[in-house]
Chain A
Amino acid sequence: MNGKKRTQGSAGEPERRSGAGGVPRRVLVALDAATLCAGAFDLAAEFARLFDADLSGLFIEDADLLHSAALPFVRQFGFGSASGSSFDLKTIERELNLLASKARNTLVAAAERRKLRHSFRVVRGQLASQLALSSTEADLVVLQASSRPLGRHLRLEAPGLAAATALGCAVLLLEPGMGLPSSVLVALEDGGGDERVLALGAEIARLAGLELRVLAPPLEPREAAKREAFLRKRLAEAHLAWRLEVLPAFDARAVAFYTRQHGQNLLVLSASSSLLAEVERDRLIATFRCPLLLIR
């Protein structure tokens, strides 16, 4: 890691760890030149506010990009013109500095609007390794799932997405244009992660004052009643509006159909959910059309 700079909002305060129910206390929004997006800062800041968490910004100067720029025969191609242009190290460093500066300003503005403790770092290195390193200091990493659009319909997978899905903390995946959700969807299936998923989903819904919808696989009436009773008991202290939605099938298609039908949601899933295995990594957001919170 080649750490470069750090901006500290409230210097001297001790670092905080995850709170009750696995509520994140440290939110990290990590972006690079390909994924930089103001909306991600805003949404990350909003989650930090909800969780009363520290907000950190991380701008990664991709080592591959810098190395490419240093090679004289490498040219960059824009989608609009489809023509190549020169591509040198000085120019790309200037552009990265500019982007980092914009990212810092955006994060500071988003944090100060919400009176959050915040910091910002610029690091240079391989995206995956820098992300993995930085995530050790965060409970929740906010990432863009795809790069900034090349054309009207053309987005490529974010360079760091592969690494992000393998991080050890919770990950919030977004796409540009996604805003605050109006309800929290928790997809519960049998498995070890379900308890944490339900706990964090309920906490987010409670904190944000949103409705919680628990998506469940097809159940026999008796099973459904039992599940409902369990949820009632489990969510009794949360004092939030919730409902159980038993889906006709518990697969990516059925869940996607539901998420698309019911407005803006936040879908909370276990990182080990079988749903994720059904969808290609770069199609996650496109499939569910909502921000995706993966819990470990």
Chain B
Amino acid sequence: MTESRGSQGGTAASSASRSLQPEALRRCCDPASLPFESTAELPDLDDAIGQVRAAEAVRFGIGIKRPGFNIFALGPSGVGKEHLVRRGLKTQAAREPVPDDWCYVNNFIDAHKPVAMRLPAGRAMPFRRDMERLVNELMVAIPAAFEGEEYRHRREVIEEELKQRQGTAFEALQRKALDKSVGLIRTPMGLALAPLKGGEVVKPEDFEKLDEAERTRIQSDIEALQGELQTLFRQIPVWERETREKLRALHRDVVSYAVGHLIDEPRQRYRDLPVVSDYLASVQADVIDNAEVFMRRSMPQEADGPGPMPGMPALGPDALFRRYQVNVIVANVPDSGAPVIFEDHPSLENLVGRIEHISQFGALVTDFNLIKGGSLHRANGGYLVLDARRLLVQPFAWEELKRALRSRLARIQSMGQLMSLVSTVSLEPGAIPLDVKIVLLGDRLLYYLLSQYDPDFHELFKVPADFDDRIAFDPDGLMLYARMIATLARREKLRPLDRSAVARVIEHASRVAEDSERLTANLEGIADLVREADFWAGEGGAGRIAAEHVERAIEAHIRRADRVREHVQEEIRRGTILIDTAGAVVGQVNGLSVMQLGDFAFGQPSRITARVRLGRGQVVDIEREVELGGPIHSKGVLILSSYLAARYAAERPLSLNASLVFEQSYGGVEGDSASSAELYALLSALAAAPIRQSLAVTGSVNQLGQVQAIGGVNEKIEGFFDVCRAAGLLDGHGVLIPASNVKHLMLRRDVIEAVAAGTFHIYAVERIDQGIEILTGIAAGAPDAKGSYPPDSINGRVEARLAGFAEAARRFAQQGRDRGDEGPAAH
């Protein structure tokens, strides 16, 4: 273990040497160093700045044409993922061939399984129009064919034949009956056969007067004739069926001619497409088989109207002809390159398409015309860009997308079908071969979660494009940033920024990045700042955006968001939240935390207290005990136990019971950035050394006593600065920060001015010993050759206190053993 050595007299010097100079607190961008007067002079920037790795990955992902090489562009929002992807896709897609058109047509064999038809790009829409025109012509031509004298005559001949057949049969029966003096009588229900005499039916009383033989003969004749009548009645439906067949054949003859020459025209036009030729042949056969439908349409006077064709729902007056329509799912424009589709709402239906239904008399009906393509269809042969989060929150969308990519088929299925919830008649449209490159845009967490938990993910998304959230704050980066700002201003028709404004924006970008050596890659946030600055420039009547407008935009942004910060600081000032900024207290230190509210973060001090007593070597984290502390915070506290035991009680039991608490904290504590503050409080309590309350502390600590970097250092310093300033005059106040955080400092100008004036200090601390000396004004103390610390030093006092606890514990244990009890120091 390395320990800094210090002495009582050396603490003041140590404090001074740790106090940072104003220049270290903020990296200023000198407007004079910028080689332009305003952004109007700068050329546009097409590339995303600082995203070389991601740009390479996107280029590779777009270029490679292999299954599974889909792209996941990961990174925080606002870093230009979509812009870079869009630009890359646009360039590549323009060089690629236009994919084919797709449409659905009726399946004349099985109407529930519509056929997907592939046509060269740009030919689907004309084909649809040609089919509409064909049907319109058929509507005229077929009824006209049936109105012709030839058809009428042939039909009459057929119908007449039936009538004659029937008439002849009845006449023959009637004659035969009359030969036997039997008449055919009409009854309300049908026919009857009765004996005749003198042309009239024999009266019952006359019949009874006939002799037995005569009566028997008549009855026998009538029974025989009744049998023939029955046979005749049974024969009539057969004749009618034969007539219907003949009529159907007649219709086919008539329609074949009418349809043949009409369909020849599209057949010629699409002779280069066998699939269309085959379809037209099916249409021709179907029209011929269903010619009556066209005839019925020409007879609107029918009260009940025409019924639907087989397999077709009755969807309006022209429903009968819907089966000949062409439902274009994808229509591309020739020579327009491959499609690039950005799907904003990647629901299952928007993605894979849907089958709509129409409510009709309480029933849901559909046909192939109600099939709607999805973005997968539109992007087929090109690229589809999706937001990963939006995709994942849509039920079934992610699973269906994966299934489509695995099978390389776009299959339209509704959510109801997938869940087997729908019992209405639906369709099974033929699947369409899929060749699409998917680009997912999402944050890193999603990428890592999918990597971890979805076994299909890596198989299907093999190209990660990892976008950096920060870029280097060097001369090259600075100029690229300036050009990016110039491009934005031009693209959005904002006022040009003068170089002071550019410098201020760059400083802000560094502050957002929380690093004086980096600039944020969240260009959307920077763009918002420039837009707001433009507004303030407009309010001020300026022709250019200047630094003051940027400053005002930043202040206004903070002002809009800092209600809670103001409230917290007010409560500290009013003494509701107990924070001391003067005096010195044993076992009490000002820790610093960051509160993130939306896109605004601010620091606030928290009182951390420590109490120690004889115990079993436990440091009790009260936050954890009441489940207000997160695991990282608890880890930090456990490190303290280890640090104390290893440093001060390596050779004897750590007979300590210490408790640590974030006072007035009710909302939970997470993170280990307060662990150094907690250690300082513990050491103060053990050494009975008061801690200066004019100072606050941030930084985590490891088992070796090294102070480690934390996040939000700027907000924390500014938070304590604001509290101290509000409490009165600044006088020797300050914040201890990890030395490794110095490079992250991009502090407000008022803080820097206070540091320059010597009223506020920022101490960069590497080790706990350095910090405790600054906080207590007492030397930490270095071990001598025997490993003992000077008695008056902090470490010496702590060591002595712990030795005292150990001795007390030993005594209690001895007394216990003497009494037969277990002692408290059995640890």
B176-218 toward A: CB 8 Å interface, digit per residue (1/0)?
Answer: 0000000101111111111100001111100100000000000
Complex Cα distance, B185 from A149, in Å, reads: 14
A82 on the B face (CB < 8 A):
yes
- Which of A64, A87, A147, A153 makes the CB contact (< 8 A) with B201? A64
Within the complex, which residue of A77, A147, A151 is in contact with B226, where a contact is CB–CB below 8 Å? A77
Minimum Cβ distance to chain B for residue A9 (Å):
28
A63 near B226 with CB under 8 A, answer: no
* A68 and B166 contact, CB distance less than 8 A: no
CB pair B236–A126 under 8 Å, yes or no, is: no
A114 vs chain B, min Cβ distance (A): 24
Q: How far is the CB of B640 from chain A (nearest CB, A)?
A: 101
**B170 contacts chain A at the CB level, 8 A cutoff:** yes
Other-chain residue from B186, B188, B192, B243 in contact with A156 (beta carbon distance below 8 A): B186
Q: Which of A67, A152, A154, A159 contacts B186 (CB 8 A)?
A: A159
Q: Are B204 and A70 in contact (CB under 8 A)?
A: yes
How many Å from the CB of B625 to the closest CB on chain A? 92
Interface residue tally for chain B (C-beta within 8 Å): 36
- When chains A and B are docked, how far (Å) is the Cα of A43 from the Cα of B190? 26
Contacts of B159 in A (CB 8 A): 153
Q: Which of B227-235, B431-439, B681-689 touches A?
A: B227-235
Q: Taking the complex as formed, is A92 at the interface, i.e. its CB lies under 8 A from any CB of chain B?
A: yes
Contact A76 B191 (CB under 8 A): yes
Q: Does B163 lie at the interface of the complex (its beta carbon under 8 Å from any beta carbon of A)?
A: yes
Q: In angstroms, how far is the closest chain B Cβ from the Cβ of A195?
A: 34
Taking A73-B219, A77-B191, A153-B162 as contacts, is the C-beta distance between A67 and B204 under 8 angstroms? yes
- B344 at the A/B interface (Cβ < 8 Å)? no
A63 in complex: contacting residue of B166, B189, B192, B201, CB < 8 Å: B201
Task: Please give, as numbers and ranges, the residues of chain A lying within 8 Å of B230 by CB-CB distance.
Answer: 77, 82-84
The reply to whether A77 and B190 contact each other, CB–CB distance below 8 Å, is yes
- Using Cβ atoms and an 8 Å threshold, which residues of chain A touch B202? 67, 71
Complex formed: what's the CA distance from A75 to B193 in Å? 7
| A79-B194 in contact (CB<8A) | no
Q: What distance in Å separates the Cβ of A288 from its nearest Cβ neighbour in chain B?
A: 13
Bound together, the chains give a CA A95 to CA B189 distance in angstroms of 10
If A71-B207, A77-B229 touch, does A85 touch B189 (CB 8 Å cutoff)? yes
User: A97-134 interface mask toward B, CB cutoff 8 Å, 1 = contact, 0 = none?
Assistant: 00100000000000000000000000000100000000
In-complex Cβ contact of B194 among A74, A83, A85 (8 A): A74
Asked whether A65 and B163 contact (CB < 8 A) given A82-B230, A151-B240, A156-B170, the answer is no
How near does chain A come to B168, taking the closest CB pair, in angstroms?
12
Say whether, besides A147-B186, A153-B159, A75 and B236 are in contact (CB < 8 Å).
no
Nearest B residue to A280 by beta-carbon distance? B167
On whether the beta carbons of A79 and B222 are closer than 8 Å, the reply is no
Across the interface, which residues of A come within 8 angstroms of B188, CB to CB? 33, 92, 95-96, 99
Residues of B within 8 A of A33 (CB): 186-188
Interface size on A, residues (CB 8 A): 38
- Residue of B190, B204, B234 ringed by the most chain A CB atoms within 10 A: B190
Complex Cα distance, B204 from A71, in Å, reads 6
Q: Which residue of A lies closest to B208 (CB)?
A: A71
Measured CB to CB, the closest approach of chain A to B242, in angstroms, equals 12
* Alpha-carbon distance A286/B229, docked complex (angstroms): 24
Cβ contact within 8 Å between A84 and B170: no
A286 proximity list for chain B (CB < 8 A): 163
Residue of A nearest to B196 (CB): A64
Question: How far is it, in angstroms, between the C-alpha of A79 and the C-alpha of B240 when the chains are bound?
Answer: 13
| Bound CA span A83–B190, Å | 10
By the criterion CB–CB under 8 Å, are B192 and A77 in contact? yes
Which residues of B are found within 8 Å of A62, using beta-carbon distances? 185-186
Residue A78 at the chain B interface, CB threshold 8 Å: yes
CA distance A37 to B289 in the complex (A): 36
Contact residues of B with A, CB < 8 Å?
Answer: 159, 162-163, 166-167, 170, 183, 185-195, 200-204, 207, 219, 222-223, 226, 229-230, 233-234, 236-237, 240, 243
Q: What is A's interface to B at a CB cutoff of 8 Å?
A: 33-34, 62-65, 67-71, 73-79, 82-85, 87, 92, 95-96, 99, 126, 147, 150-154, 156, 159, 282, 286
- List 23 A–B pairs whose Cβ atoms lie within 8 Å, in order of A's numbering: A33-B186, A62-B185, A64-B183, A65-B186, A65-B187, A67-B201, A71-B204, A71-B207, A73-B222, A74-B192, A74-B222, A75-B192, A75-B226, A76-B191, A77-B192, A78-B190, A79-B233, A82-B230, A82-B233, A84-B230, A95-B188, A153-B240, A153-B243
